[in-house]
Amino acid sequence: MKDMKEKIMHAVFFITACISVLAVALICIFLFKTGFSGIKEIGLFEFLTGTEWRPKNDIYGIFPMIIGSIYVTAGAIVIGVPAGILCSIFMASFCPKWLYRFLKPVINLMAGIPSIVYGFFGLVVFVPIMQELTGTAGKGLLTASILLGVMILPTIISVSEAAIRAVPPQYLEGALALGATKEKSVFFTVVPAAKSGILAGVVLGIGRAIGETMAIIMVAGNQPVVPDSIISGVRTMTANIVLEMGYATGLHREALVATAVVLFVFILIINILVTILKNRSKA
């Protein structure tokens, strides 16, 4: 009877895994089939390097959106990654218990807040501040980067803290026994031992940043041009898809799907690079 139950559960798990793989495969087939059709008609070079996006004139160049996505994600990394890692170190190694009982639920709550709420917060808080500081409309690359930096904090903090806590206590105890201070022991012994987990948290944060849509639409300015400063308006690839997919038809629709293909390839490249870095760090 026990063997029968195990076989049934193995079959259930196998079927579930197959369904997941099949779902991903179907998504890839749809994206690449429709996207490549549009890229073939537009031209790969013109599509990737074109600086003008004019659907009414059948001109589809997504270079400004590629640059916008890269800039906004890079800005979020600069703002969110150091703050997230330092906060996770504090929570795992230095935070008093009374403060931890308050801080941990707050971070978990941040992770569950919908992106549209973050976007509204950025619209009514960050945008007016940027208007006062820069004398512009307030919506642009810097505003979007700050908002995304805040949004990726819960992911980075939660995963990095778990990785730091998973390090055996002997690492810290050994460093302390050799005469190192607790700060040096944590930063030069515990944190390097948890670098794979911390890197995983950073990657998850980057994935959320590059795939974020609604919040970015509300604070980025949505201008399909290459930004010439950190306060210029930008449009990301995700925002471009959402803003126009509702009414797009024909080649316009295929160009938007092709934009999704480019975004998909970006995420694949990031994951491959991170896997290579993790394998090197283990070696």
Superfamily of domain 53-282: MetI-like (1.10.3720.10)
Phi-psi region of 166 (alpha: psi -120 to 50; beta: other; left: phi over 0): alpha
SS3 59: strand
Tokens representing 105?
């639920």
Question: What local confidence, expressed as pLDDT, does residue 19 receive?
Answer: 93
C-beta separation of 139 from 129 below 8 A: no
Question: What local confidence, expressed as pLDDT, does residue 249 receive?
Answer: 85
Q: Render pLDDT for 143-199 as a digit per residue (tens, 0 to 9).
A: 999 999 999 999 999 999 999 998 888 888 888 888 888 888 888 888 888 888 888
Question: What local confidence, expressed as pLDDT, does residue 90 receive?
Answer: 94
Question: What local confidence, expressed as pLDDT, does residue 148 receive?
Answer: 93
Q: Which residues pair with 60 in a beta bridge?
A: 53
Question: What local confidence, expressed as pLDDT, does residue 88 receive?
Answer: 93
Question: What local confidence, expressed as pLDDT, does residue 278 receive?
Answer: 67
Question: What local confidence, expressed as pLDDT, does residue 157 receive?
Answer: 93
Burial class of residue 178 in the structure, from the number of CB atoms within 10 Å of its CB (0-12 exposed, 13-18 middle, 19+ buried):
exposed
Cα dist from 163 to 102, 153, 157, 199, 200, whole Å:
21, 15, 10, 10, 9
Which residue numbers in the chain have pLDDT < 70? 1-2, 277-278, 280-283
d(CA 214, CA 144): 11
C-beta separation of 220 from 141 below 8 A: yes
For the chain, the structural domain boundaries read: 53-282
pTM of the model: 0.86
Question: What local confidence, expressed as pLDDT, does residue 76 receive?
Answer: 93
